[in-house]
Amino acid sequence: MKKLINDPADVVADALRGMALAHPELRVDHENRVVFRGDGPRQGKVGLVSGGGSGHEPMHGGFVGRGMLDAACAGEVFTSPVPDQVVAATQGVDGGAGVLHIVKNYTGDVMNFEMAAELVAAESGTEVVTVVVDDDVAVTDSLYTAGRRGVGTTVLLEKIVGAAAEEGRPLAEVADLARRVDDAGRSMGTALTSCTVPAAGKPTFDLPEDQMEIGIGIHGEPGRRRVPLAPAREVAEMLVEPILSDLSFTGGEGVICFVNGLGATPLLELYVVYAEVAALLDKAGVAIARSLVGPYMTSLDMAGATVTLLRADDDLLRLWDAPVVTPGLRWGA
């Protein structure tokens, strides 16, 4: 295993130390492994809490800041945060207007966030609403999931819903919006290589030199099928077609088109994929209203990419364009 780490057991703690040092505008609770906005909690603002296993950076800690998340819980690599972490995050962002939990649909995450929501409600009466993201069209039910997995739509949702919370919208409205974004987003990914979890010390799965996995999960969960390596234009088709078959993206203002790198795939290649995705959408009559290309939801050192399409109306686009100031996404301020 070739990694720039110290002891594999310390990787999350060490990375959080680095994050705190590199981003003094954030506040890191090292004991609970929660990344907070430095200027929180904001009185009267709905608090947005997300989190999940580490190894997907910048998601989620890199999306904490003005116009996005108020806190993110960092679990061990590819492991749900425990309820105590989520409790600390929820209490730490509580500004009296309630808290929204944004949870990717993996069994452990859903269970631990739910337990934390109950604990917080019982202890302090804070109102917590949970929205589960389940946008991966590749498979229903997966290695760690009942129902669809939560992937790329999570990034777009955290941005859009973060802007709405920043505007001071009430909890019920923010939660409705989050559900609306989840309903409007679909994703599908491919892996060219496995990733290696530090504590495991070896690749999560084997993928022969001449094959790729279509429909991969962001923890290396099996996808739909293995196919021989193919040119980017065919790969793009294998990712876009199932998305377009699952939901209609025509009409309205078009889509936010997100081509995400899984870690080891260079930006050069992501732009090649983006060009092919854009050509396919053009042929299908789907207009691209906004785009995002880069490694925003990674899977450690996995080579591969995911495509997310989010059907957008004017309200969503306005919230997408609103200022955001986080380590991972930043514009307008």
Q: Which residues are catalytic?
A: 56, 219
CB 110 within 8 A of CB 132: yes
For a second copy, the closer CB: 128 or 305: 305
Report d(CA 66, CA 235) in Å as an integer: 36
For a second copy, the closer CB: 49 or 238: 238
Any contact of residue 188 with a second copy (CB under 8 A)?
A: no
Name the one residue in this structure whose structure tokens are 């409007």: 184
Phi, psi of 230, rounded to the nearest 5 degrees: -135, 160
Any contact of residue 284 with a second copy (CB under 8 A)?
A: no
Report d(CA 209, CA 190) in Å as an integer: 15
- Contact segment (CB under 8 A) with a second copy among 155-163, 179-187, 216-224, 294-302 equals 294-302
Q: How far is the CB of 266 from a second copy (least distance, A)?
A: 5
- The stretches of 171-309 forming alpha helices (DSSP H) are 171-184, 232-246, 267-283
DSSP string for 155-203: HHHHHHHHHHHHTT--HHHHHHHHHHHHHHEEEEEEESS--B-TTT-SB
The token pair that represents 322 in the structure block: 């609103």
The token pair that represents 252 in the structure block: 């309205």
Quick one: which of 22, 43, 122, 283 contacts a second copy (CB under 8 A)?
22
Query: How many residues at the interface with a second copy, by CB under 8 A?
Result: 61
Q: How far is the CB of 94 from a second copy (least distance, A)?
A: 27
> One symbol per residue from 118 to 147: x for binding a second copy (CB under 8 A), - otherwise; what is it?
------------------------------
Binding site for a second copy (CB under 8 A): 2-7, 11-12, 14-19, 21-22, 54-55, 57-58, 62, 77, 192-193, 209, 212, 229, 231-233, 235, 263-276, 278, 288, 291, 293, 295, 298, 300-301, 303-305, 325, 330-333
